A and B are shown apart, each in its own frame.
Chain A
C-alpha cells in the first residue's frame, strides 16, 4: 500500500495574512488512483492543490515525491517533477492557437526553431484522444468556453504528467463532455497516473473517485474509500453536522405578488444550458433566498432579471408590467436594483468619492436640468450614511479609504437611492467582517418589513437561513428544491444543491 504512494503532503500548513488556510494537513496520492478532495467554499481545497502544484509554498510541513523530500518554488519545478494542474479558471492565451497554448513554455523545436507542424500534429492526436477534433490552428479566443476547457485539459495531458490535479474541471462542460473526461481519467489511471479531483458535485465525485478526502476549515476531517460512502456521509463530514430529514414545504407570504419570473432559459455560447426553465414568484415584504453551488446559475439569474442577457428566453413581470424588452437603466427606473457579486469590479467606481459612488445610479434625482444639485446630493448621501451606519472619514473621501463592509454598504446605499421596489442581492456579505455582516442582515430584514421584495443569492447556508423567508435551491441552472426557511435543514439544502443531472431527468 505505502509503496503506491507517489506524492505526499505531510503535515502541511499554509498561513496567509489573517487566515490559516491549511492546518497540518496530510494528503497522499497513489499511483493509478483518483483522490477526490471535497469541502465547502473556503475550506482550503484550492490552497492545497496550489501547494501541490508549486504555486503556493507551505509555511510548515513537507512534500514527499516517491518518498523523497522535495522543494517546489514554481510551476516550472512542478512541471519538471511531472506534476500538472488543470485550473478552475481557464488560463489560456486567447491570442494564441490551440497548439501554441498547449506547448507554451515547452515548445517543440528543431535547432531552436519552432516546429509548428509537429506541435499541431501532436495536438491533433491529443484532441482526438479527447474526442474533440478541434482544429489545432484555431485561436483559443475564438473557441466556446467548453472547448477552451478541453484545451486546458489537453495542455496538462501534453506534459506527460505522473500526477494530475483537476480543480473543478467540469464546471463548464456538458454532460456528454463530462463522460468523455471520465473515460479519459480511467485511461490515465490504467497508465499509473495519480489524480486529484476537486468538484462540488458530490455524485459526480463518487462516480470517479477511489478515495474521498474531506477538508473543513483548513483541516482534513475525513478520509474514506469512495465505495464505502454515500452523498449523505460526505455532506455530514463537510458541514460537521448529521443530516436530518427535511420536508420541502411551501409558504404563503402575506403581501401581493411583486415580481414574477416565467420559464427563464439561458444558453451559453457553446450550447451549455446556464438557466433551465426557471419560474419564481416574489411577494412584497418577502425575502427569497437563492442557494446553490458555484456555476449553478445564481448570478446569471440575477443578471437576467437586470436585463444584462438580452438573449434570454422567458418573461419577467414587475407588478404585472412586462420588463422583457427593457434595458438595464429602464429596469432600474421600473424599480429593480442589484447589488452585484463582485463589489470591486461591478459595484463601485474606485476612483470616485463616497458620495459620487452613492448617487451615480440616481443622478437624475439630484439634477436640475443640467446642474448637479450638490447640496441635495450630499444631503441624501449623509442620510444614507446615518441610516446604514456607514463608517466613512468623509463623504468626499475616496471610496477606497473605507473598509470592505462599509464599501458594501455604499453599494447598498446606491441601490436604495434609486428607490427600488425589488432589491437583488448577490453575495451581499462576501468578504465583509462579522459586525457589518450582522448589520447588513438586519437592514435586509428591515427593508423587507417596509414592503420591499428581496432576492438574496448566497453560497453561505447560514446567511440564507438567517434572513430568507423562502429558499429556492438551484443546481446546474434548474430549480431542484424549494423550502420554507423555517423548515429547511442545512443538509437537505446541500443535498438539493448538489443534485446531479439524474435528478433533473437529463440524459447524457
Chain B
C-alpha cells in the first residue's frame, strides 16, 4: 500500500512541472518555422524596398494561396502516413473540366445538343472530379493495399492523360463565359476581390481554417493522427482505419481541384499541363511546416507557414535579382536544413522526456 500522504506530497508536483516545461518546448517547436518566416520577411524588407509594398505582397500571397491549398490536403494525407503525388495532375484535370464546360459546354452527341451549366454547377462538377480521383487513390490504398507512392504515381499519369484527352492537348481560352448562357463569373474565382482581398486569398484562409479545425478539433482529425502514429493500435482501438485512409485522399483531391479552378480562373484559360510538379511544392510546404513524413505528427498551421516560407523565399529572391537557377538550389537547401533542424529538435525532446521520467 502506498501511503496517501506520500502520493499527494510527491507525485503531482513533478507532473505539473513537466507540463510547464513541455509546453514551453512544444511552443518553441511550433514557433520555429514562424521565426524563420519572420527572419526572411525582415531580411527581404531591408534588402529590397519593393518587397513590403501592397502590390508585391498581394501577388506573393496569391502565389502562396495556390500551394497552401494543395498543401492543406497533402497535410491530411501525410499525417495519416501516406503521400499524394497526384495533386498537380488533379489540379490540371479539374481546370480542364471547368474550362471545357464553360468554353464548349457538354456535348451530348446522341441527343445532338450542347448543355451549358451554371458557373456554380461547373465549379461543383470540377471539385467532384477531384474527389473522384482522390477516391480512386483512397480505394487503391485502403482496399487494394497498393503503396501510396505507387497508387498516386499511377493516378498522377492517369489524371494528366485524362486532361490531355479532354482538351486534345489544347488550351481552352476565354473562360469569361457568356451572359446568355448563364455561365459568367468564373474568373472572379481567380481575380475577384472581396472586402479588399483577392478571392484566392479568401479561399486559402477558408481551406486553412477548415483544415486546422478538422485536424485539431474533430474526432476525425484525431483519428488521422492515430492512424499515422500507430495503425495497428488505431485499428485495435476501434478506429475504422480504411475509412480514414480513404477520406484523407478525397480531401486531398478536393483541395487539388480547387487549386486547378483558381489557376484556370486567374489565367482565364485552362491548359492541360497546369500543375506539373506542384505536388513537390506541396510536399515541401508540409515538411517545412514540421509535419513528419512518417505520419502522425504535424499540423495544418505549420503547413501554411511552410507554404509562406517557400513563397516569400521565391518572391524575395526574384526581387533581389538572384538567378533562377540559384533560387532552385536555395529552395532545396532550405528544405533539407528544415528537416535536419526538425530531427535535432525531436531527438532533443525525446532525450529531455526520458531524463524527466
Q: List residues of chain A with CB under 8 Å of any chain B CB.
A: 55, 74-76, 79, 87, 90-96, 100-101, 104-107, 109, 112-114, 131, 133-135, 137-139, 141-144, 147, 155, 176, 179-180, 269-270
Known: A105-B237, A106-B238, A113-B217. A100 touches B15 (CB 8 A): no
Known: A94-B229, A138-B18. A114 touches B222 (CB 8 A): yes
A141–B350 CA distance with the chains assembled, in angstroms = 8
Residues of A within 8 A of B296 (CB): 93-96
Q: Is B179 an interface residue (CB 8 A)?
A: no
Identify the closest chain B residue to A143 (Cβ). Answer: B357
A335–B263 CA distance with the chains assembled, in angstroms = 67
Residues of A within 8 A of B41 (CB): none
Q: Is B94 an interface residue (CB 8 A)?
A: no
User: What is the distance, in angstroms, from B110's C-beta to the closest C-beta of chain A?
Assistant: 45
Residues of B within 8 A of A139 (CB): 353
Is B225's CB under 8 angstroms from A76's CB?
Answer: no
The contact of A104 among B19, B237, B350, by CB within 8 Å, is B237
User: What is the distance, in angstroms, from B216's C-beta to the closest C-beta of chain A?
Assistant: 8
Is A79's CB under 8 angstroms from B238's CB?
Answer: yes
Is A142's CB under 8 angstroms from B353's CB?
Answer: yes
Q: Is B223 an interface residue (CB 8 A)?
A: yes
Residues of A within 8 A of B349 (CB): 142
User: What is the distance, in angstroms, from A130's C-beta to the closest C-beta of chain B?
Assistant: 11
Known: A96-B225, A113-B217. A133 touches B15 (CB 8 A): yes
Identify the closest chain B residue to A105 (Cβ). Answer: B238
User: What is the distance, in angstroms, from B20's C-beta to the closest C-beta of chain A?
Assistant: 10
Residues of A within 8 A of B218 (CB): 109, 112-114
A101–B229 CA distance with the chains assembled, in angstroms = 11
User: What is the distance, in angstroms, from A297's C-beta to the closest C-beta of chain B?
Assistant: 21
User: What is the distance, in angstroms, from A57's C-beta to the closest C-beta of chain B?
Assistant: 15
A90–B228 CA distance with the chains assembled, in angstroms = 16
Is B297's CB under 8 angstroms from A105's CB?
Answer: no
Is A269's CB under 8 angstroms from B297's CB?
Answer: no
Residues of B within 8 A of A180 (CB): 2
Q: Is B109 an interface residue (CB 8 A)?
A: no
User: What is the distance, in angstroms, from B80's C-beta to the closest C-beta of chain A?
Assistant: 12
Is B19's CB under 8 angstroms from A96's CB?
Answer: no
Residues of A within 8 A of B226 (CB): 93, 96, 100, 104-105
Known: A92-B233, A131-B2. A269 touches B354 (CB 8 A): yes
A90–B236 CA distance with the chains assembled, in angstroms = 11
A131–B12 CA distance with the chains assembled, in angstroms = 11
Interface residues of B in 1-35 (CB under 8 A from A): 1-2, 7, 11-12, 15-16, 18-19, 22
A-B contact pairs, 22 of them (CB 8 A): A55-B236, A75-B238, A76-B240, A91-B232, A93-B230, A93-B234, A93-B296, A96-B225, A104-B222, A107-B222, A112-B219, A131-B2, A131-B7, A133-B15, A134-B15, A137-B19, A137-B22, A142-B349, A144-B354, A144-B357, A176-B2, A270-B357
Most buried by B among A112, A141, A176: A141
Q: Is B324 an interface residue (CB 8 A)?
A: no
Residues of A within 8 A of B357 (CB): 142-144, 147, 269-270
Identify the closest chain B residue to A106 (Cβ). Answer: B238
Residues of B within 8 A of A144 (CB): 354, 357
Is B238's CB under 8 angstroms from A107's CB?
Answer: no
Is A138's CB under 8 angstroms from B238's CB?
Answer: no
Residues of A within 8 A of B232 (CB): 91
What is the predominant secondary structure among interface residues of chain A facing chain B?
A: loop
Is B225's CB under 8 angstroms from A93's CB?
Answer: yes
Most buried by A among B219, B228, B233: B233
Is B354's CB under 8 angstroms from A104's CB?
Answer: no
Is B2's CB under 8 angstroms from A91's CB?
Answer: no
Is B12's CB under 8 angstroms from A133's CB?
Answer: yes
Q: Is B239 an interface residue (CB 8 A)?
A: yes
A91–B234 CA distance with the chains assembled, in angstroms = 8
Residues of A within 8 A of B1 (CB): 179
User: What is the distance, in angstroms, from B353's C-beta to the closest C-beta of chain A?
Assistant: 3
Residues of A within 8 A of B16 (CB): 135
Identify the closest chain A residue to B353 (Cβ). Answer: A142
Identify the closest chain A residue to B352 (Cβ). Answer: A142
Residues of A within 8 A of B7 (CB): 131, 133
A203–B292 CA distance with the chains assembled, in angstroms = 46
A269–B355 CA distance with the chains assembled, in angstroms = 9
A90–B356 CA distance with the chains assembled, in angstroms = 22
A76–B223 CA distance with the chains assembled, in angstroms = 15
Identify the closest chain A residue to B2 (Cβ). Answer: A131
Residues of A within 8 A of B354 (CB): 142, 144, 269
Residues of A within 8 A of B216 (CB): 114
Identify the closest chain B residue to A144 (Cβ). Answer: B357
Residues of A within 8 A of B235 (CB): 75
A79–B22 CA distance with the chains assembled, in angstroms = 34
Is A104's CB under 8 angstroms from B239's CB?
Answer: yes
User: What is the distance, in angstroms, from B237's C-beta to the closest C-beta of chain A?
Assistant: 4
A448–B269 CA distance with the chains assembled, in angstroms = 81
Identify the closest chain A residue to B1 (Cβ). Answer: A179
Is A93's CB under 8 angstroms from B233's CB?
Answer: yes
Is B19's CB under 8 angstroms from A91's CB?
Answer: no
User: What is the distance, in angstroms, from B83's C-beta to the closest C-beta of chain A?
Assistant: 17
Residues of A within 8 A of B230 (CB): 91-95
Residues of B within 8 A of A90 (CB): 233
A138–B26 CA distance with the chains assembled, in angstroms = 11
The contact of A91 among B217, B219, B233, by CB within 8 Å, is B233
User: What is the distance, in angstroms, from A153's C-beta to the closest C-beta of chain B?
Assistant: 14
